[in-house]
Amino acid sequence: MVEGRYASIIERFVEWAVNEPAVRAAMIVGSQARSTMPADAWSDLDLVVFHTDPAELLASTQWFRGFGPVLFSVVEATAVGGSEERRVLFKGGRDVDFAVFPSAAAPLLTHAPEGERVLSRGYEILVDKDGELGRGTAHLRDRAPEPAILPTPQEAEACVGDFWYHVLWAAKKLRRGELWAAKMGCDGYLKRLLARMIGWTTVAQRGDEVDVWFDGRFIDRWADPGLLARLPASFGRYDHADLARALRETGRIFSDEAHELARRIDWRYPDEAESAVKALVSETLKDLP
């Protein structure tokens, strides 16, 4: 059981869940249940709740108020699983994510590849009224985290196309003077695609030696030091000239990583298309003030 600053929230949550008929199961995932990259003073608490009516639970703002004084609460999409979560900030900075899934999804989630990757890093079952979580996670006990999977050529092609399409999109925004949109494109959307490509290339180079995390998490611990040294220059200030520079540098790093991946998985990189987009970007940003 989690101890420390979240202990009282967990205790009250379990008492509520046990006595709430619509809650069929619940578990802790994430850093509070991990032995590798475990929770620290800044970690949140991730709870997965299996409920007979997720929409009803997510719409309510009352059920979690018994767990502690609430400052703010919002509903967002879950990182995996295609559901939604109620994120609650309790007094004292205690941040709890209640990811809510249909009760029938428990056996499906525990056997889905993305679910297995999360759970194999660590989990703790808190409530299991129907025994579904215990049965569904039995194959994950004492199992090492699932290694990252290399993309198919089709997946790599889609990522590359998505990236260069949005490089030109960001360049057009910058040309038009939409600094906010250009900044978010360069240092938001494009960086997520870059992190995905870096993860793929790292796995292609090092295989099972490296544990690549979702969405660039802990990238400073698993990516190549030479690549990490290049990343600062790929982020831009909130001005035209520096964003143009950062956009080009982001493209250079992505291209280098994608070409390395292409060599490793025997995939033909679309060099002509990349060159055509680069020419369009150069024309778009020509004489930018």
Assess whether the region 4-140 and the region 153-285 belong to the same CATH fold.
no
In CATH, the architecture of 4-140 is 2-Layer Sandwich (3.30)
Give me the sign of the Cα torsion angle 89, 93, 98, 99.
positive
Q: Where are the domains of the chain?
A: 4-140, 153-285
d(CA 162, CA 258): 13
pLDDT at site 142:
61
More confident residue, 100 or 212: 100
Q: Which fold has domain 153-285?
A: Four Helix Bundle (Hemerythrin (Met), subunit A) (1.20.120)
pLDDT at site 146:
59
Give me the sign of the Cα torsion angle 237, 162, 159, 258.
negative
The pTM for the full model equals: 0.81
pLDDT at site 235:
97
With residue 102 as reference, give the H or E element that holds it. strand 94-102
Using pLDDT thresholds of 50, 70 and 90, give the confidence band for residue 144: low
Give the whole-number percent of the chain exceeding pLDDT 90: 70
